[in-house]
Structure 1
Amino acid sequence: MTPSSNVSVERDFHSWAPEGVFVHAARMLMREATVENALALATEYAPRAADELSTLEPDVVVFCCTGAGASLGPDGERELIDRLAGLAQAPVVSTNRAVIAAMRAHQVESVAIITPYTDDQTSILAAAREAEGWRVAAAAGMGIGINREIARVGVEELVEFSEAALRDAEFELLFVSCTNLSTAAALPVLEQRFGVPVVTSNRASFDAAMAVLGEPAEAI
Structure 2
Amino acid sequence: MDFSFPGIEGPVAQRGIGIIAPFDLALERELWRWAPLDVSLHLARTPYEPVPVSLAMAELVSDAAHLTAATRNVLHVEPEVVAYLCSSGSFIKGLGYERSLCDTIRSAGAADAVTTSGALLEAIQRLELTRISVLTPYDEILTGKLHDFLAEADCAVVRSDHLGLGGGIWKVGYRTIAERILGADHPDAQAVFVSCTNLPTYDVIEPLEQRLGKPVLTANQLTMWACLGRMKLPMMGPGRWLLDVF
Taking structure 1 as the reference length, the TM-score comes to 0.89
> Does the CA contact (< 8 Å) of 2:116 and 2:222 recur in 1?
yes
Q: Distance in 2 between matches of 1:163 and 1:64?
A: 25
SS at match of 2:159: strand
Deviation at 1:169, TM superposition (A): 5.5
The 5 Å alignment of 1:176-215 reads 176-215=194-233
**Partner residue in 2 for 1:14:** 32
Q: Is the 8 A contact 1:115 1:141 kept in 2?
A: yes
Residue matched to 1:56: 77
| Structure 1 residues not aligned, in runs of 5+ | none
CA RMSD of aligned residues (A): 1.8
- Matched residue count: 212
Q: Single out whichever of 36-45 and 116-125 deviates more from structure 2.
A: 36-45
Given the alignment of the two structures, is residue 38 of structure 1 paired with residue 51 of structure 2, yes or no? no
Instruction: Summarize deviations over 1:3-25 as a string: whole Å, max 9, x none.
Output: 111111x2223112112111110
* 1:192-211 superposed Cα distances (whole Å, 9 cap, x missing partner): 23221111111110011011
**Cα distance in 2 between the residues matched to 1:86 and 1:37:** 24
Q: TM-score, normalised by structure 2?
A: 0.80
The question of whether the paired residues in 2 share the 8 Å contact of 1:138 and 1:169 is answered with no
Structure 2 residue 128 is matched with structure 1 residue 107: yes
Q: Could you tell me which of 103, 107, 112 is aligned with 1:91?
A: 112
Partner of 1:27: 45
Q: Residue type of the partner of 1:92?
A: A
> 1:214 is paired with a residue of what secondary structure?
coil
Out of 149, 170, 175, which is 1:151 matched to? 170
Identity %: 28
Letter in 1 for 2:176: E
Please, which runs of 5 or more residues in structure 2 have no aligned partner? Answer: 1-19, 235-246
Letter in 1 for 2:24: S
Which residues of 2 match residues 165-180 of structure 1 at below 5 A?
165-166=184-185, 170-180=188-198
SS of 2:62's partner is helix
Q: Is the 8 A contact 1:112 1:138 kept in 2?
A: yes
User: Does the Cα contact within 8 Å between 1:111 and 1:174 map onto a contact in 2?
Assistant: yes
- Identify the structure with bigger relative contact order (alpha carbons < 8 Å, sequence gap 6+): 1
Max radius of gyration: which structure?
2
